[in-house]
């Protein structure tokens, strides 16, 4: 059974491309959400194993959405990975212990990171 991934990014072109890249592996079922305000409802309905969150979005940023997910224990604590074009080391200082993937990244890097985060969840 493929792992379920929710991708929340306000750029539909980037989102669709990432969805295709991840689904081509045959290991993931990927759902897109381009509206930050709808992210929590989508997490609740889709029940992902992993959430890829763009840090910089209008209305709500990725950190606000992550806080909403963490505050809802019934969601099963999916792994949250922040995608950012900002300085990753600076962002890590804002959210110690969080997972980050810096943009731009190569397909192999994305797939490897997702596999690693999901493997860490399975052993936790």
Q: What is the pLDDT of residues 22-50, one digit of tens each?
A: 999 999 999 999 999 999 999 999 999 99
Q: 10 Å Cβ neighbour count for 94?
A: 11
Domain that holds residue 100: 3-123
2 pLDDT more than 80: yes
pLDDT of residue 123: 52
- pLDDT tens-digit map of 44-94: 999 999 999 999 999 999 999 999 999 999 998 899 999 999 999 999 999
Total structural domains in the chain?
1
Pairing of strands 99-102, 79-84: parallel
Q: What average pLDDT does this structure show over 11-15?
A: 90
Q: What is the CATH number of the domain that holds 69?
A: 3.40.50.2300
- Residue 122: the pLDDT is 57
Helix (H, G, I), strand (E, B) or coil at 49: coil
């Amino acid at each position: 059974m493929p792992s379920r991934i929710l991708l929340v990014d306000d750029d539909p072109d980037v989102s669709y491309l990432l969805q295709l890249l991840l689904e081509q592996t045959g290991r993931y079922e990927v759902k897109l959400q381009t509206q930050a305000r709808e992210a929590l409802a989508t997490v609740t309905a889709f029940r992902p194993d992993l959430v890829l969150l763009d840090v910089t979005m209008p209305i709500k940023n990725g950190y606000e959405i992550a806080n909403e997910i963490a505050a809802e224990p019934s969601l099963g604590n999916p792994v949250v990975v922040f995608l950012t074009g900002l300085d990753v080391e600076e962002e890590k200082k804002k959210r110690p212990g969080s997972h980050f993937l810096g943009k731009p990244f190569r397909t192999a890097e994305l797939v490897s990171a997702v596999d690693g985060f999901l493997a860490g969840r399975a052993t936790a």
